[in-house]
Amino acid sequence: MNRDSVDTELIKQAVTVASRAPSLHNSQPWLWIADGPELQLHLDRSRVIRHTDRGAREALISCGAVLDHLRIAMAAAGWQSFVDRFPNPNQPTHLASLDFRRTDSVAPATRDRASAILRRRTDRLPLLAPTDWALLEPVLRELVDGDAVRLDVIDDELRPELAAASRLSEAIRRNDAEYSAELDWWTGPFELDEGIPRRVLVSSAEADHVEVNRAFPVSGHGDRRSAVPRDHATILMLSTPGDTRSDALAAGEALSTVLLECTVAGLATCTVTHLTELDSGRALLSSLAGTSDPQVLIRVGAAPALHGAGAATPRRQLTDILRFRR
């Protein structure tokens, strides 16, 4: 099949849009290399949060999300992506190679998802129950490749056990100095092009309203969503048949699909990973849902009408994440 050459400026634009993908503590552990007509995705090991993410599993999930974001951005511009995952066994950081072919038309749903990339935010505040969930759930199940990634909805009856596991995970790490040091660094008081700004973190009062969430350093905010005293978000879980690098990348691609489709539907989302960072947490999640390898949780709900999407978190400069070889 003949591939077409993509304009350099389009590659720059698509990578810029794709970089809005979520990542652990906004670490953005990806590196794109444009090599002639081929665009390569690499894991940037210098961006892996070494103690929290010792096996780089979450970094690979993040790279899966940015890969799917890139594919959607290119599709919205009229280019179909052909992806070869893990093309070089001798180069484990080379996660995917992409080349492209022009398409005759762009589906409205594709344009909607591409637009959702720029609108999506991580909402850590308590959420209302998702609207029209009965209509959205089957759509998500249809879009997620069930052979590679399993999508489960955590039953409300299991929420107390999930909340208890969340508290236990935080208790285990309370005396983990390296974990605390990493968390403090990535949520520092200075506005950088990485990490999580203090302005988007929750206060202690707000954190009390959300039972399943990572305990970040307390911000100076008051209770910005006092009208929602308890989180009513639906909690989803993405699991994979195994725990390989390929499984983690696939989980990230599915994560992108779920987040963007929920954004298109007007819902707020929050990716939750502190439970899946510990073996004990993953074992509990596996027993609750009867799955093999839990990869990530996602809170999905409706934000109150008076609360906007919030400010976007910063992203690294394009010159830091994209290189041209030829």
For the chain, the domain total comes to 2
Q: Are residues 46 and 188 in the same domain?
A: no
Summarize pLDDT for 173-195 with one digit per residue, the tens. 989 999 999 999 999 888 889 99
Confidence of residue 5 (pLDDT cuts 50, 70, 90): confident
Asked whether 97 and 40 are in contact (CB, 8 A), the reply is yes
Q: Are residues 165 and 262 in the same domain?
A: yes
Query: Considering the domain boundaries, does residue 2 fall inside one?
Result: no
Give the structural domain span for 151: 133-301
Q: Are residues 198 and 152 in the same domain?
A: yes
Confidence of residue 300 (pLDDT cuts 50, 70, 90): very high
Whose CA is closest to 146, among 16, 251, 55, 59? 251
Q: Are residues 106 and 154 in the same domain?
A: no
Q: Are residues 25 and 138 in the same domain?
A: no
List, in sequence order, the alpha helices (H) in the chain. Answer: 8-18, 57-76, 108-119, 133-143, 159-173, 177-186, 204-207, 245-264, 279-289, 318-321
**Mean model confidence pLDDT for the chain:** 93
State the pLDDT at residue 44: 98
Q: Are residues 62 and 164 in the same domain?
A: no
Top-confidence residue, 45 or 222: 45
Distance between CA 152 and CA 299 in Å, rounded? 12
Asked whether 211 and 25 are in contact (CB, 8 A), the reply is no
Phi, psi of 312 (to 5 degrees): -75, 145
User: For the whole prediction, is pTM greater than 0.85?
Assistant: yes
Distance between CA 63 and CA 247 in Å, rounded? 12
Q: What CATH number is associated with residue 88?
A: 3.40.109.10
